[in-house]
């Protein structure tokens, strides 16, 4: 039997996802955190590629040099975290998931925008360009007015099930 309306938990999760989407939509840069070869972590600021309107949910992309440390980190260990911060909105989020390198020339041609030419000015650089695509599986959210009070005391955690449905992880929130 199909539901006629959302369950209360679904409404809460939808509100959290909408708040997270609004927050990252207003932030140009984030931190990409990867596992280093030595077992620690590497963090670097990244400008994300805005998604096309018809794309699936919670995929975040970056354009990068395939010869970079971040690309080799992802080849070795695909688990990453992205940290977004919007000071004025008192909004902070950590997104965890798996990253993949898109390096097929036809996919790169499809995703390429002329604005990237300034970062990849030579033909050799453009040949080594890749896209990092992250599929978000878990979110830790601190968003004033969206996540529960008292604000900032602990994160609200939203996770995606193996079937793709988002749920509130009340055990760790």
CATH classification of the domain holding 75: 2.30.110.10
Q: Is 135 left (phi over 0), alpha (psi -120 to 50) or beta?
A: beta
Q: Is residue 28 part of a domain?
A: yes
Q: Domain range spanning residue 30?
A: 8-168
Give the span between the Cα atoms of 108 and 98, in whole angstroms: 19
**Cα–Cα dist 85/87, whole Å:** 6
Query: For every one of its 173 residues, what pLDDT tens digit does the chain have, with 9 covering 90 and above?
Result: 333 344 556 779 999 999 999 999 899 999 999 999 888 999 999 998 877 766 667 999 999 999 999 999 999 999 999 999 999 989 999 999 999 999 999 999 999 999 999 999 999 999 999 999 999 999 999 999 999 988 888 999 999 999 999 999 877 54
Count of domains in the chain? Answer: 1
Q: Does residue 96 belong to any structural domain of this protein?
A: yes
What is the pTM for the complete model shown?
0.88
Tokens coding 138: 């878990």
Cβ–Cβ under 8 Å, residues 16 and 168 = yes
Task: List Cβ neighbours of 40 (8 Å cut-off, separation of 6 or more).
Answer: none
Domain membership of residue 173 (yes or no) is no
Q: Assess if residue 1 is contained within a domain.
A: no
């Amino acid at each position: 039997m199909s539901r006629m309306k959302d369950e209360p938990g679904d409404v809460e999760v939808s509100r959290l996802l909408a708040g997270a989407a609004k927050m990252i939509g207003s932030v140009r840069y984030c931190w990409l955190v990867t596992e280093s070869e030595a077992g620690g972590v590497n963090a670097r600021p990244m400008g994300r590629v805005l998604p096309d309107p018809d794309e699936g949910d919670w995929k975040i992309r970056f354009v990068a040099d395939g010869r970079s440390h971040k690309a080799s980190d992802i080849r070795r260990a695909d688990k990453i975290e992205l940290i977004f911060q919007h000071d004025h909105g008192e909004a902070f989020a950590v997104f965890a998931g798996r990253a993949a390198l898109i390096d097929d020339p036809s996919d790169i041609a499809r995703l390429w925008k002329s604005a990237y030419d300034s970062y990849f000015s030579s033909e050799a650089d453009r040949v080594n360009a890749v896209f990092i695509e992250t599929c978000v599986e878990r979110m830790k959210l601190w968003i004033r007015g969206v996540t529960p009070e008292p604000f900032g005391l602990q994160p609200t955690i939203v996770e995606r099930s193996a079937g793709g449905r988002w749920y509130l992880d009340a055990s760790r929130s």
